[in-house]
Amino acid sequence: MYNCLQKLNANSFLGVLAVKIIYNWLHQEYGKLHLEFGIKQTWIFLLSLSLSYFITGNILVSLIGALVPLLYFLMPNTDIKLKPLPKIIGVYLSIISVAVLGSIATVNVVTSLTLNLIIPFVIVCILTNDNNILGYVFHYIMFTYVQFAEVTPDIFPMYLVSAFIGVVIAYIFNEMIWAGNDKETQSVVIDNKKIIMVSIKSVCLKIREGISFNSSISKFGIRLSIVTAVSITLWSCLDLPKWYWIAKATCYTLVPIWSLINYRAVDRFKSTAIGCIAFFTFSLIAPNKYIFTIAVLLALVLAFSYIPKKHISEFYSFSAFVSLSLSLTSLPVINLSFYKVTYVLIGVVLAVIMNRLVLPNEVSKISADETTKTKPTTVY
């Protein structure tokens, strides 16, 4: 009897301890979320996707059209505020100009290799500065995603419609209906002519500096261009199932700060593996399509919710779940999970290798040991 009581007390203690550990973990994860932001951005994404698909009838074009304008408003320029019409026109032309180049790059191997060698370098040189080292990301993602989605010139008009719908919806909700809710500081309103002149001068100066190849930014631009050209062209020519997962993992693992790439590579692979395991497990225990749809929507909300607080590792986990769910109709669950993990592993390894071979940053090499002693809390 006494032994039974001892076992019961021990089991009760372990049960309470397990509950406490789980509670603390959930509380910690909840602190990383910005749920209001996640819900709002999910609403914008789904509304843009629905309207675009209703008008164009092409799900791939609708997906990229809904995602591309959303990326702009996830990384807004809080220092400059334009009037509504000029801002919509400016954002739309910006999206279209980069997307046109991405669409042309899908024509053949020569254009793919050429444009992917030039455009990423130009984007990095023009849009990256000391105050916004990740300023190139938005346009670079647009340029590559149009290629991944295979938005060829013949279906590009549908993309124009889809992108316009997304920009207008994103502007209406972010800048009008929800104006001021997510902004911590007041933006400065600048005259349209003045900002155009300043932008032209700035672009010319940055291109001139970039061509000198002396700065760390221009060296990063060269690395990114070479990796993008080789990865996208090579894997698309081999025509592997879901080849773009390899290219994305390679291209997006590179970062301007040379010494941080190992952390980014590990986080990218680890987070993707977690997302794949969650996707595979949930597919087995909850095969009902309605339950699965709810899970995908929840994963989308959570993925967006991690962005404002810059917990990119967790974002990758849930975005991997969403990505696999959207691809479920093309391949079986186990095949998708295997391809995703394997391709991302290949991609991040290639990115690390290319980072060390192509114009390695000597200053970063010297200080790499000191940098790697402590892991940064936020790794892009």
Q: What is the pLDDT of residues 24-64, one digit of tens each?
A: 666 677 778 888 888 988 999 999 999 999 998 888 899 88
Per run of 10 residues, the mean pLDDT along the chain (length 380 residues) is 55 62 67 86 92 91 85 58 70 88 92 94 82 82 91 90 90 78 47 55 60 75 93 89 92 87 91 92 81 89 86 86 85 89 94 87 46 40
pLDDT given at position 127: 81
234 and 247 together in one domain: no
53 and 188 together in one domain: yes
Final residue before a domain boundary, out of 239, 255, 286: 239
Instruction: Write the CA distances from 342 to 249, 318, 326, integer angstroms.
Output: 11, 18, 18
Residue 263 lies in a domain: yes
112 and 73 together in one domain: yes
pLDDT given at position 16: 63
pLDDT given at position 53: 93
pLDDT given at position 176: 80
54 and 190 together in one domain: yes
- Report whether 58 contacts 160 (CB < 8 A): no
Residue 22 lies in a domain: no
Residue 249 lies in a domain: yes
Which structural domain range is residue 157 located in? 34-239
SS3 letters across the chain: CHHHHHHHHHHHHHHHHHHHHHHHHHHHHHHCCCHHHHHHHHHHHHHHHHHHHHHHCCHHHHHHHHHHHHHHHHCCCCCEECCHHHHHHHHHHHHHHHHHHHHHCCCCHHHHHHHHHHHHHHHHHHHCCCCCCCCCHHHHHHHHHHHHCCCCHHHHHHHHHHHHHHHHHHHHHHHHHCCCCCCCCCCEECCHHHHHHHHHHHHHHHHHHHHCCCCHHHHHHHHHHHHHHHHHHHHHHHCCCCCHHHHHHHHHHCCCCHHHHHHHHHHHHHHHHHHHHHHHHHHHHCCCHHHHHHHHHHHHHHHHHHCCCCCHHHHHHHHHHHHHHHCCCCCCHHHHHHHHHHHHHHHHHHHHHHHHHCCCCHHHHHHHHHHCCCCCCCCC
225 and 292 together in one domain: no
Final residue before a domain boundary, out of 239, 264, 282: 239
- Report whether 190 contacts 82 (CB < 8 A): yes
pLDDT given at position 339: 92
81 and 199 together in one domain: yes
Residue 26 lies in a domain: no
Residue 178 lies in a domain: yes
153 and 279 together in one domain: no
190 and 271 together in one domain: no
Residue 18 lies in a domain: no
Residue 28 lies in a domain: no
148 and 295 together in one domain: no
Residue 284 lies in a domain: yes
pLDDT given at position 11: 58
Q: How many domains does the chain have?
A: 2
Final residue before a domain boundary, out of 239, 254, 288: 239
Quickly tell me which residue has 């013949």 as its tokens.
154
219 and 90 together in one domain: yes
171 and 252 together in one domain: no
248 and 161 together in one domain: no
